[in-house]
Amino acid sequence: MAASTLTEVARLAGVSPATASRVLNGSARKPGPDIAERVRQAAESLGYVPNAQAQGLAKSSSGLIGLIVHDIADPYFSAIARGVQEAAREQRKMVLLATTGGGPAEEKEAVAAFAARRADSIVIAGSRSRRPGDTEGNAELAAELDRYCRNGGRVAVVGHPVVGATAPEGYHVVQVPNQELAGQLATELAKDWDGKFVIIGGPEGLFTSDDRIRGFQEGLERAGRQPAEVLRNSFNRTGGFEAGLQLAARIKAEQSEGGEHTKLCIFAVNDVMAIGAAAALRAEGLRIPRDAAIAGFDDIETLRDFRPALSTVRLPLEEIGRIATRATGRPGGHSADQDKDHDQELEPAGTIRGEVTLRRSTEVAA
Amino acid sequence: MAASTLTEVARLAGVSPATASRVLNGSARKPGPDIAERVRQAAESLGYVPNAQAQGLAKSSSGLIGLIVHDIADPYFSAIARGVQEAAREQRKMVLLATTGGGPAEEKEAVAAFAARRADSIVIAGSRSRRPGDTEGNAELAAELDRYCRNGGRVAVVGHPVVGATAPEGYHVVQVPNQELAGQLATELAKDWDGKFVIIGGPEGLFTSDDRIRGFQEGLERAGRQPAEVLRNSFNRTGGFEAGLQLAARIKAEQSEGGEHTKLCIFAVNDVMAIGAAAALRAEGLRIPRDAAIAGFDDIETLRDFRPALSTVRLPLEEIGRIATRATGRPGGHSADQDKDHDQELEPAGTIRGEVTLRRSTEVAA
DNA sequence: CTGTTAGCGCCTTCAA
DNA sequence: TTGAAGGCGCTAACAG
């Protein structure tokens, strides 16, 4: 009932297992064409499927890439996942998926599980955190990662390095210029908006969120503006929605006060939160950009048809996934020519370029 | 440099590998607490990580669940993927991801790869197809699946069974009542709309699309309406957009003709296409539902903030993923009490309940 | 309760 | 070029 084995194929073909192996899987020496054909036919007729586990055991390489995300249903992560998939396919590897919900403890579990499966490399896509409650988890995660690397595993982290990770080799960080881009966004917005800025951020300690907040504040400062107030909330639509409700109340109060007031410009640290905030404003009867402007970050594809079109910062999510994955590929894995010029190896895993994208949601037109 | 092995742990603890194994991994008999502690410490100090490949080889069960989707970045699939992940976690298994782009040939590759990795079960989430070009691919896919099942693998397919698959056991189909629900949607819409209906569908031969089209037509018929014209296009936003452009031209022509005309009601066979079509109408200066109504299918979460809110059919995507995955779990895998009542086993893998959800995009209000 | 003995299926030296 | 032998790391029968 179990799948047929190489030995069975070999027996049917009247050759040794070794020979069969050489025929069916890549090997330096190629057996005689007549023999090869017989083996192939035997394999075919038995419906032979090589046992990757056994192959992996013997070669100590599994052909697996581990991907860690907070939530695969979040479009931010699923876009990255698509890039990882592509790159994995290039490397003829398969993707193992782990969803962690963002906790370092669960991420550590995932790394351990990947290590157990002897994944050739691991891509960590979720934002790092330095919240107080996470310090222990971070330490454990770092330790687990270090061990994994020491055992020959490759790791790529999107965004920030894992706190405390001191991995010697095989540890790559794909830098995402969150801070810089948020700064540019602020600068651009400051050109058109005289009023106050408010930031809807994630919980304090989430690097991605903090970087974007910091960058935005810096941008405001460069433009000679007051720092923006920061509302903190969960890093998802609900968080944005709740913050949006608060702001809506405030805006309506100001409006009913009469008198002159300048419109608020809201920066949510990611698109999903921005959409949540926009929904809240709308629910409260406010309109964008008439009563307030709003901008996000990421430029999530599925959200591009949202109206008013959301000003945001475009991030090449799919490419980020690809680059991270490629960074973990063993050099000379499959490419024909191998640069002897190792300089490139020393550079960061890849430079990500984003782009400020102003759209309707921050237009000044009444 | 390589990871440490069970043997090393055993040696350090001064016990046999078998004992170490019994301590570190689940086993019926539990060694003495003193011994157990020594082994645990040895493992800890060596940073021992069990080799799942070896375990799999020995136990001939990999703890892997293979998931096949068209495109992980498509919110429809990523929602299902989340459900699969959840259920996998319940079963203490990991998810192997394969993205196929929808072709049976690639799906066959994926199944073979999963089989090679000895995945315990496979969940196929993409729509089946019976397009002429796919017949050969379908046959091969079916053969591969049959073989996989025959070797003890479990399979769950979302929607329709794979064409030609005759798998004896372990082959489950999660029925999604596309046709029925589309019929209900049509019925509901027909109550409010006097005018013509148009369907924006996917390519002919895609089961999901065809079922929804058929169901919608049936619903119209039941309501005493003429069958709707069907525009076919690719099964994604672009397809919807292009069809939308066509319709926009038509609508504008009718409008400029003056005279009386009834508004068009558009049914796109999935939300993403509906959004594309809506974007096209908007781009052509038309407004929804003023100039035309539009409805989709799936109720994609990320799209719920779209305005005008899209009438659609809510599908419990995440649950579909969960149910499909659970259907493939070996009975008595982890649950405490094991029903001796096998009746449930014979029913379809699970009954999916959807819900027609009328929203603003099909309101009659001018 | 513990240790010993065989494999799980494959790859890879090494001889022939 | 081909075959034989050993081992990858672990578990599952047996013995003790």
CA distance B236 to B273: 5
* Contact, A61 CB vs strand C, < 7 Å: no
Give me the domains of chain A, ranges plus CATH numbers.
Answer: 6-58 (1.10.260.40), 63-176+317-330 (3.40.50.2300), 178-314+355-362 (3.40.50.2300)
Q: What is the DSSP letter of A298?
A: B
Find the mean pLDDT for residues B36-41: 89
CA distance A42 to A50: 13
Find the mean pLDDT for residues B61-82: 96
Residue A249 structure tokens: 């109340």
Protein-proximal nucleotides of chain C (any atom < 7 Å from a CB): 1-5, 7-13
Written as one string, the DSSP assignment of A248-290 is: HHHHHHHHHH-S--PPEEEEESSHHHHHHHHHHHHHTT--TTT
pLDDT value of position B255: 85
Protein-proximal nucleotides of chain D (any atom < 7 Å from a CB): 1-5, 7-13
Check residue B363 and give left, alpha or beta (phi > 0: left; psi -120 to 50: alpha). beta
* Contact, A51 CB vs strand C, < 7 Å: yes
Written as one string, the DSSP assignment of B284-337 is: TT--TTTTEEEE-SB--GGGTT-SSPPBEEE--HHHHHHHHHHHHSPTTSS-SS
Distance B35 CA to C3 C1' (A): 14
pLDDT tens-digit profile of B9-23? 999 999 988 899 989
Cis peptide before A161 (omega within 30 of 0): no
Residue B33 CB coordination number (10 Å): 8
Nearest to B151 among A1, A52, A94 (CB): A1
The neighbouring-strand residues paired with A294 are: A266
pLDDT value of position A351: 79
pTM of this prediction? 0.93
pLDDT averaged over 10-residue windows placed end to end, chain A, 366 residues = 84 90 78 84 91 90 95 97 96 96 92 94 92 91 91 92 80 94 97 94 95 98 96 96 97 81 91 97 95 97 95 98 91 39 45 94 83
Q: Reading across the β-sheet that carries A229-232, which strands appear in turn?
A: A229-232, A197-201, A264-268, A292-295
Are B291 and B255 in contact, with CB atoms under 8 Å apart? Answer: yes
Least confidently predicted of A76-80, A117-121, B56-60, B103-107? B56-60
From chain B, the residues in CB contact with A116 under 8 A are: 49-52
pLDDT value of position A332: 44
The answer, yes or no, to whether residue B340 has pLDDT greater than 80, is no
CA distance A49 to A242: 53
CB pairs under 8 A between A and B: 151
Task: Indicate yes or no: CB of A302 within 8 angstroms of CB of B301.
Answer: no
pLDDT value of position B305: 96
pLDDT value of position B297: 98
Task: Indicate yes or no: CB of B97 within 8 angstroms of CB of A79.
Answer: no
CA distance A18 to A14: 12
